[in-house]
Amino acid sequence: MEKLNLSYGRKRVFKLKTFLILLFISLLPAVSFFSVSYQIKIMKISKLLRAYPEVFNNLSSTNLDLIEGQVDNLVVSLSDKEKERIKSNEEIRAYIMDVYRDTYFLRFFFNEISKSSNKFFLSGVMYDGQRFYIDYYEYGTTTQLSTETVYSELGKYYKDLTVQILDEKNFLGDIKYFHYVWEGKK
């Protein structure tokens, strides 16, 4: 008796208003998710900006959409600067080395002769900015300046290095003199 119904089927319809309200409600989670994630993004970006003021104080605008582009630009410009600095570093280094080599051969020579107990007579030094030429006489029983040492030390900095004994003569008693010539190119 409870199921009795003398009416034939009725189409169940939904009002447009109900449909729109349901649509709105179903879109709410998506919209809220996106707005929350946008808020979190902004929070994190602000935190980053505050944490690295040295880098970000040079930002021209605070529009959060352009930040990504600006950060990329910053990275590029900073890496350019880095390359520049490295280059100038290299140049300075090269320059220092260059200047060092202008006088190193002499300092080395004086260092060596002061270590030695023999007497030395420097007869001539020539340097034109590229090539050096040392001409000296060593007086002693034996030569105490080892050519290997000279080659190994000066060879680090100079090219076309030659150490020649031009002459070896007895001088007085068993004292000899050795006529050395050093040549080299920067």
Partner 1 sequence: MEIRLAIFSNRVVVYNLNEGQASTLVAKYRNNKMRIKSYHQRFVPSDPEDMVVVNVPWDIVQTAFLELPPIKKDIDRIRVAELELRRIYNLSEDINVSCIPSLFGKYFVLFVRRTDFIRFLESNGLNFTPDIAYPNVLSELLLVKKLPGRWLYIVLGEYTSGIVVMSGNFITNFRIIDISTNEISHLIKEETGFELYEIETSGNEELIEQSRKILDTISSDIISIISREIIISTNTTELEKISIDSIDGIVLVSKSKMIRDTIFSAESDIIRKFTDPVYLVKIYPQLSMSELGLLYRGGIELGKVKSIIW
**Which residues of the chain form contacts with partner 1 (CB under 8 A)?**
1-10, 12-15, 17-18, 21-22
Both structure tokens of 48: 């980053």
CB nearer to partner 1: pick between 1 and 51: 1
Nearer to partner 1, 28 or 48 (CB): 28
Asked if residues 94 and 157 have their Cβ atoms less than 8 Å apart, the reply is: no
Question: From the CB of 30, what's the least distance to partner 1, in Å?
Answer: 20
Least distance from partner 1 to the Cβ atom of residue 28, Å: 14
Q: CB 32 → partner 1: shortest distance, Å?
A: 20
Residue closer to partner 1 by CB (options 22, 99) is: 22
DSSP 53-72: HHHHTT-S---TTTHHHHHH
Residue 180: is it exposed, middle or buried by C-beta count within 10 angstroms (0-12/13-18/19+)? buried
Using an 8 Å Cβ cutoff, are 143 and 178 in contact? yes
Q: Minimum Å distance from CB 29 to partner 1?
A: 18
